[in-house]
Structure 1
Amino acid sequence: MGKSKTNKFRRPQFNAEGLSVTAVKEMEPDHGEVFDGVDSPTGELLEKLQSPSADVREFACASISRVVQQSQTIPGFLQRDAVRRLGPLMLDRSLAVRETATGALRNLSACGGHEVCDDMVKQDVMTPLTALLREVRPSLVNHSLTLMYLWVWPCCEKVVFSHFEQHVSCESSSQALSVFNKAGILDVILQCLERHTHNIKLALSAAHCLHTVTEDNAELLCSMNNAVLGTLESVLLSSQADMSHTLLRTLAAGSVWNLKSSLPTAHQAQTLTALMATLSQCLELDAGTLIPQLRQVEVARSATASEAGNMEDHQATKIDKDFSDLLPRGKEELREATALLTAQQTSLEIIVNMCCSDDPSDDEWEEASSSDESEMCPDGLSEGNTSLLSPLCLSAEVHAALINHNIPEKVLKKTQFPSSEAMDVCRHNPTWKILIKKMHRVQYRALTCLHNMLSTMDAESLGGAAALQAVAQHLSTLVFSPPALSQHVSWMTHCLCLCLCVCCQCMTPQQMMSLSEAATCCDVVSVRVNALAILGITGSTLAKENGTAETLQMIGNALLQVATKDANLVVCGEALDALFDVFADGDEAERAAENINLLSALKALQPVFKAKIRKEGKGKYSPEQLCVLDNVKVNLRRFIGYLETVVKK
């Protein structure tokens, strides 16, 4: 298939979007204080952080942790140096103060966005954090302190936007990575991962951190050794079936992929197999079925728990001291569902990067390929440039592994809308509504993943022409279904780009015209423009084949219809550009152009198009759009001249 630019995801990362955060012990404020957003007594709480009483300091930290869940309160805390005041309390002589201070800082970072996180790094949150890590490293007995990783690394990230959807996709800041590398925190992470069979929350926290810091961290790569890779492989080969362990294995797989240049050649095939099996098993799970089941379990458990009365209250007090995540206490089933969707999103993003066919000169790979290949890392693991896991292309080994584990088929299934049953469960429960965006996010990642597969794998690898026709039909259905039309415009545009990858080789004329008809009736300009581009590229491909004149006539008539009647000049210009592509060359194109009287039609259209640009252009269109329209106008004149030459032959 034709080469096209593929998408590459940065690290999939955890965030607090839409989550209800109760990461600290709930403490009702006394003295009649009310914490209601912008009216919160910020200054008074910060003053209490300096109290000689540990109970008062703990109360202040817990209250701040609750208040900052309302994002409008965060600027007030930052303006009063809340980070500099909370940071030292992570080293407080009172363990309870340490825990609540850690929770307050984590909630501040998670609920405040990337600008707040950057500000926290600038306010030197890493200094007390590193000191605390050194203190807890020897034994890791108090794992609740080590669980701070879950909030630490959002403090060290910046937001990157994909081309079709704004999403948080994180890249560690150089300052935070430097602190991480120099402080020897990798040893702590490995100790946490090694305890995954006994403490999954601790291991997950460490896995999130490792997945974050292993990408584009050349200094850390040279610290890798067989012990590190062995720990990751042991996680990949674990057999626990719950969703938390599924997420743990997926994060480990992502870290292994990030570390691929450090893998010994002798172990690469085995590691790749374990990695791909992890991704395959994760994608095999049907979230549409599991989410309703988990919700039913939660309902049954809640009914049982309500009968326990005081026992439940006693247990809740213990749960509140656990800073393992940002979900409400006692929501184990919701936590499982969230872990499942996060694992599937992460799996798809790893596969996206596996199928990334960027040229060696592109961005990050340029730096990697120009590095000193002779530099050796510990244990002699520097053999990446001849690796079967080369990032510069889809290697035969990776290609075979994708096919052997039925990854293309599983990715295609994830592009379908979440089941109506799962959507209903989430819509009708306030706490579970957070999963709706997560389900759609899995779907978006699957579409990008499918796009990269279509760009880097041939038709036979994806099931042949018949399978690709089914893909094209499926994508067309997604694009033009009413729910998508009203809610997911950017995603529809991306679907059309995916159709573009398959239609040139496999779409039937009926499919193509159905796509065209649906697209030209769409109210969204970007959808109409992309559909016309698809017709143009499809037609130009068909023009090089024999016996296609009849199909070219259908395409030509459809494009002329749009160019003549569409109210938007940008759409008209795209239709004309597509006509130029379709009828630029070839005997079949010449025959089709003659049959539809293309020359006469364009001569009649030319003055009308020019007049519309003069009359409507400056008032309705941007300078960039007008520039494009002027180019179309010039090309129209030249193309008419070309057709006149053809007629005279």
Structure 2
Amino acid sequence: MGKVRKRKPNKTQNNIVADVSDEELPVDSKENVIQTILDQLQAANVEEKYCGLQTFAFIIESPENIEQAIERGVVKAVAPLLLDPAGSVRNAAAGSLRNLSAVQLEVCDSLMEQDIMTPLICWFDKHAENWTPDTNSKTKMEDVDTFIQCINLLLNLCESSELAVKYLGQSRVLSILLPKYLDIGTFGCDIVASVLQCLFVVVEDNPDVMEKIKLTCEKQLQELMSIEDTDPSILLIRTLSAGVIINTCGGNMAVLPVNVINQIVSILAMTLSIDHRLVCNQLSSIVPLNDGSGKFEPPKGKDEQMLDCQLKSASQILDAQQRSIEIIANICSCDDASDQMEGPESSDSDEVGDDEDSNGEGVVLAEDKLPPEILEALISLNIFEKVWARTQLPAENVMLILKEYEGSKLLHQKLHTLQTRALLCVNNMLSSLPVDNLGGVNGIYKIWIDVGKLVFKESSENLYILESATAVMRAALDKIKFRENGKSGECDLFRDLSLSDIEMMITGIRECQVPEIRSNLIRMIGILALLLVNKLNETSSSVICAITDFILEQAHKENEVWVLAEAIDTLVDLYSEDETDELAAKVKLVEKLSILAPILKNKARQQRKLPKEYKVLVSTATSNLPRFIKYKKGRVTKL
């Protein structure tokens, strides 16, 4: 995940950069600017080419300019400049293309369509195979920066495109990089870390790359992982090395020796032990502040060096913590749990709602899937608590300071990314760790409450955070439901739940435009209703009926078949209990589900192109619904 790095304009070139400071340029003015860029990029003069690249880098900071620049073929003109004889031109080309590749996945697709990989691979062949940083060279820092930009461009492309990974495998790039560029003594921490970041991405689910790494640099990775140093740059390298080692095992950490497993988890724990909020608080005290008119007084001399050093260290800490959390999320991923539900044949009983096996007898629980040595390491080093701490952002005033200053804007973005990844990791850990190691039912309930504040009270506009947060809320209730099985007295946590308490959630679902978030919220309120089934009284019955009516209403409005399937599956789970027969009759559940059955079937026929997990959900709901209607109708008619 290469990050946007804003390029500083070369002071000697400022007088020739085109004036494009107005981001709302008329279409014809943009056309003129783009044509000027194209003319400059194709000039013989180094200054002209550099000027064109600087202007290109500036205009792509505005997303509305990107599509037009790509359509006009600017990328096709920039990419060959990776091979330009002038180092400054190569550096500017690499930086602008790397920034462009970090915008969004669709941009990377466009870059691939314009054959970005050919000049990029040629750059590695021509400039990386025999290069080492020359301490006496005036262009050393520029050459190092160009290398890092090209590596991150490659990383972004491979992360977005399977075709890029294929081209990489067919090229000599990995042979050039490994094991040479893992030598910290020769290349320094920044280059080694950038190479490891790239390997971390390209090795995943790629047997050829896995084998290549094992043959060429397995020993070096272990040596990097064993460096005794707490400097942020080394922590990042140790964390990435651990991640690459796990990925070379296909993600199956259990095949590693126990001492290596413990070493890896210890590294992750050490990385996550750094208080990222404290780091950012301290940093905010030396970041220049807005003078009220939108201007900043940049630091100079030693103050500038100190700020740059702390910005870099904070960035490395956040990168290391993000990768640590991604590794833990993968370790705790229980995707194979769904393999038992590949098709409609997964349930042959008419009483499809019967959940007797969910007490753990005769089935493998999600929390039993982790090998004991891994589970023990995660628990003994308090990994869950460390991951949970990463879901908390620094204070609002600190976030505002970081966001306003140009040099720290990227940290502001990284903090939100870290929070999102941490929430996704918490989601996986809730499924994989025993309840008692999550603070018991009360501890999980507190997680649900705390994340609920993030979703419903802070009105976050970040959809990625909302999606991951609602997934955590859903997983937390799932865990409580599973542990209590709807019968334990500890479900009194929700005994006072009233219609006003869920009104905010219902409003959130009605207004939600993102299917993934909508699905999580629908399932969540369904679980809440299920937890009330065995505490039936006048209040809880009215809440269950209101939730039922709402889910049925949403099901009729739903366009996405997999969200419709989720809604129907939620109702089937809720009313599978025999105690709900009277409520089912009261809300006319059988009649309303009978109307939804053909709608679900038609939408399933129309929307066939779905990810695997959604296909399983739709297939299961389509198969189970008719049987459930038959089963419930038989019970309701006997009332």
- The alignment's TM-score, normalised by the length of structure 1, stands at 0.70
Distance 1:212 1:632, change over 3 A: closer
Q: Is it true that 1:343 corresponds to 2:320 in the alignment?
A: yes
Aligned to 2:320, what secondary structure does the other structure show? helix
Number of the residue aligned with 1:446: 422
Structure 1 residues 416, 566: closer, same or farther in 2, change over 3 A? same
1:237 paired to 2:237: no
Q: Shift in Å at residue 123 of structure 1?
A: 6.8
- Give the corresponding residue for 1:114: 108
1:382 aligned residue: none
Match of 2:2 in 1: 14
1:401 to 373, 377, 390: 377
Q: Where does residue 508 of structure 2 map in the other structure?
A: 524
Q: Does 1:357 align with 2:351?
A: no
Alignment partners' CA distance in 2, 1:245 and 1:287: 16
1:376 match:
none
Structure 1 counterpart SS, 2:101: helix
Deviation of residue 356 (structure 1)? 1.5
Judge conservation of contact 1:356–1:394 (CA < 8 Å) in 2: no
Deviation readout 1:389-417 (Å, 9 max, x if unpaired): xxx95222222221122111212222345
Match in the other structure for 1:191: 180
Out of 204, 213, 217, which is 2:206 matched to?
A: 217
The change in CA–CA distance for 1:114 and 1:171 in structure 2 (over 3 A counts) is closer
Q: CA deviation at 1:575?
A: 9.1
Q: Give the structure 2 partner of residue 145 of structure 1.
A: 143
- Letter aligned with residue 355 of structure 1: C
- SS of equivalent to 1:348: helix
Q: Distance in 1 between matches of 2:549 and 2:466?
A: 25
The residue number in structure 1 matching 2:88 is 96
The reply to whether residue 510 of structure 1 matches residue 493 of structure 2 is yes
State how far apart, in whole Å, the 2-side matches of 1:93 and 1:600 are.
79
**For residues 538 and 520 of structure 1, do their structure 2 counterparts lie closer, same or farther at Cα, with a shift above 3 Å needed?**
closer
Name the stretch that deviates more: 121-130 or 72-81.
Answer: 72-81
| Structure 1 Cα separation of the partners of residues 210 and 223 of structure 2 | 19
Conservation of the 8 A alpha-carbon contact between 2:20 and 2:33:
yes
Q: What is residue 129 of structure 1 aligned with on the other side?
A: 123
Q: Which runs of 5+ in 2 are unaligned?
A: 24-29, 290-294, 340-367, 485-489, 558-563, 607-617
State the alpha-carbon separation in 1 of the partners of residues 550 and 214 from structure 2.
Answer: 66
Q: Deviations over 1:212-233 (max 9, x none)?
A: 2222222222223476122222
Task: Give the counterpart letter for 1:98 in structure 2.
Answer: R
User: What does residue 359 of structure 2 align with?
Assistant: none
Offset of 1:560 from its aligned partner? 1.7
How far did residue 206 of structure 1 move?
Answer: 1.9
1:500 Cα deviation after fit: 2.7
The CA deviation at 1:511 is 3.0
Q: Which residue of 2 aligns with 1:561?
A: 546
**Partner SS, residue 124 of structure 1:** helix
Determine the structure 2 residue equivalent to 1:5: none
Deviation sequence 1:549-596 (CA, Å, 0-9, x none): x4577543311234468994539999997676455445xx27xx6xxx
Task: Quote the offset at 1:348 in angstroms.
Answer: 1.2
Return the letter of the residue paired with 1:106.
R
Q: Which has the higher contact order (CA 8 A, sep 6+)?
A: 1
In structure 1, stretches of 5+ residues that fail to align are: 1-12, 160-168, 317-328, 363-391
Which residue of 414, 423, 434 maps to 2:399?
A: 423
What do the CA deviations read for 1:414-454 (whole angstroms, capped 9, x no partner)?
23454335334335546544444432322222222122122
Deviations 1:108-163 (A, max 9, x none): 4345732343235357223431332455446676464354454435655778xxxx
Distance apart, 1:598 and its partner CA: 3.7
Q: 1:636 to 1:152 in 2, by over 3 A?
A: same
Q: Within 1, Cα distance between the matches of 2:224 and 2:593?
A: 65
Helix, strand or coil at the partner of 2:497? helix
Cα separation, 2, equivalents of 1:74 and 1:531: 35
Q: C-alpha separation between the residues in 1 aligned to 2:411 and 2:498? A: 31
For residues 474 and 105 of structure 1, do their structure 2 counterparts lie closer, same or farther at Cα, with a shift above 3 Å needed? closer
User: Which residue of 217, 233, 239 maps to 1:250?
Assistant: 239
Instruction: Give the Cα–Cα distance (whole angstroms) in 1 for the partners of residues 583 and 298 of structure 2.
Output: 75
In structure 2, what is the Cα distance between the partners aligned to 1:644 and 1:72?
58
For 2:90, the aligned partner's letter is: R
RMSD of aligned residue pairs (Cα, Å): 4.9
CA distance in 1, matches of 2:338, 2:444: 31
Question: What code does the residue aligned with 1:500 have?
Answer: L
- Separation (CA, whole Å) in 2 of partners of 1:264 and 1:508: 36
Name the aligned partner's letter for residue 340 of structure 1.
I
- In the TM superposition, residue 65 of structure 1 has moved relative to its aligned partner by 3.7
The answer (yes or no) to whether the contact 2:246–2:252 under 8 Å persists in 1 is no
The count of residues paired between Structure 1 and Structure 2 equals 558
Q: CA deviation at 1:352?
A: 1.0
> Cα distance, 1:489 vs. partner?
4.7
Return the letter of the residue paired with 1:114: C
How much does 1:211 deviate? 1.8
Q: 1:332 to 1:536 in 2, by over 3 A?
A: same
Offset at residue 45 of structure 1 (A): 4.0
Q: Which residue of 2 is the match for residue 35 of structure 1?
A: 20
Structure 1 residues 84 and 347 mapped into 2: Cα distance closer, same or farther (>3 Å)?
A: same
Identity between Structure 1 and Structure 2 (%)? 20
> Could you tell me how far 1:107 is from its partner in structure 2?
3.8
5 Å-filtered alignment, 1:74-85, equals 74-75=66-67, 77-79=69-71, 81-85=73-77
CA shift in 2, pair 1:31/1:52, >3 Å: closer
Q: Which amino acid aligns with 1:344?
A: Q
CA-CA distance at 1:259 after TM superposition: 1.4
CA contact (8 A) 1:157 1:170 kept: yes
Match of 2:363 in 1: none
